Amino acid sequence: MSISLRVLLLVCAVLVFVFVVRKLKKSQMQALDSLFWLLFSVSFVILGVFPQVAMWLSSIFGFMSASNFVFLYVIAVLVVRDFCNSVRLSKQEERLNSLVQALALSGKKDNLI
């Protein structure tokens, strides 16, 4: 893995860490979401400081280079995260619709009495 990719991973990890900590201090982020992003940035640090991990994993999975593995890792984790957020958003929309319907029905009952 090239030194520029290692530096990029470390810089991104630091930026993610700082951004998440700032959002947590301002109470703009939930603890569970921040845990995901902090662990994701720790994985960047591990891959940046110990490139042998990426090389070992890339050889196991049959990648031509460790950088290809790192890029696929990042894309795969973010796609899974996006899917989980989509599921969570769908559940929230469902709950919101149920709440609005229940509120509308209770409003009609009050007008009938």
- pLDDT > 70? residue 112: no
Q: Which residue has the higher pLDDT, 9 or 80?
A: 80
Q: pLDDT of 10-69, one tens digit each? A: 898 889 889 988 988 888 888 888 888 889 888 888 888 898 998 999 999 999 988 899
Residue 113: per-residue pLDDT:
56
The answer to whether the CB of 70 falls within 8 A of the CB of 53 is: no
Is residue 41 within 8 A of residue 13, CB to CB? The reply is yes
| Residues near 14 by beta carbon (within 8 Å), at least 6 away in sequence | 41
Rounded to whole angstroms, the Cα distance separating 106 from 104 reads 5
